[in-house]
Amino acid sequence: MKSRTILWTCLVLLCVACAHGGGKPPLSFQAVVPEGWREIPNEDAMLFMTRDGGYKQFVLIRERAVSEPFQFTRRSLNAQMAPAEAAALVVQELSADTQIRNFQLLENTPATIAGNPGFRLTFTYADADGFVFKTIYCGFIRGETYYTIRYGATRDDYFAQDLKTFEEVMQSFRLAAAR
């Protein structure tokens, strides 16, 4: 319990430390936060939501520049990359992540996300505290931006319970009109 509190405190501090001077940047996407769920405020270009807490289940939607290198492989995506290539790079990054243990890829399939060609990964892993998550990670590249929509939950019963809710979030996901 203490290590989870420390981890969440570090995550919040990291978000604050990485914040852009003017607060949260405007998001170029929209998604509906499901009834009974809540958005967890943050200063990054992301939408993080949960019903019972991040160590039970969460949906994380994020955008970033395709040129931004991944943390562990130091490799970058590019705007011309096919979805299968992007998925392979994400799998390499997840496999190299020092906080992920026992990574097991269960599925790697093409997906269409808000009308954009992308990919859908399903995998399991344990975090550094030994919590086991099952995760669906969807991603696509549009122009110079990389979008991800991730659903993770501990225990199969949490995963199964909120899978339909995640699919509803996926259906509600839209790119905002050009600014």
Helix (H) or strand (E) holding 86: helix 83-96
Q: How many CB atoms lie within 10 A of CB 166?
A: 21
Nearest residue to 120 (alpha-carbon basis) of 104, 136, 105, 106: 136
**pLDDT (average), residues 104-112:** 97
Cα(54)–Cα(7) distance, integer angstroms: 11
The model carries a pTM of 0.84
Q: CATH homologous superfamily for 2-175?
A: Mog1/PsbP, alpha/beta/alpha sandwich (3.40.1000.10)
What are the Cα distances from residue 154, in Å, to 39, 41, 84, 127, 140?
Answer: 19, 22, 27, 11, 25
Q: Quote the tokens at residue 49.
A: 């939501």
Cβ density class 43-61: b for 16+ within 10 Å, e for less: bbbbbbbbbbebbbbbbbb
Locate 5 and state its tokens: 């509190």
Confidence of residue 21 (pLDDT cuts 50, 70, 90): very low
| Range with lowest mean pLDDT among 1-5, 17-21, 56-60, 90-94 | 17-21
Block residue for tokens 């940047």: 25
Tokens of 97: 């992540």
- What pLDDT score was predicted for residue 130? 87
Contact 139, 86 (CB under 8 A): yes
At 32-84, the pLDDT tens digits run: 999 999 999 988 889 999 999 888 899 999 999 999 999 999 999 999 999 99
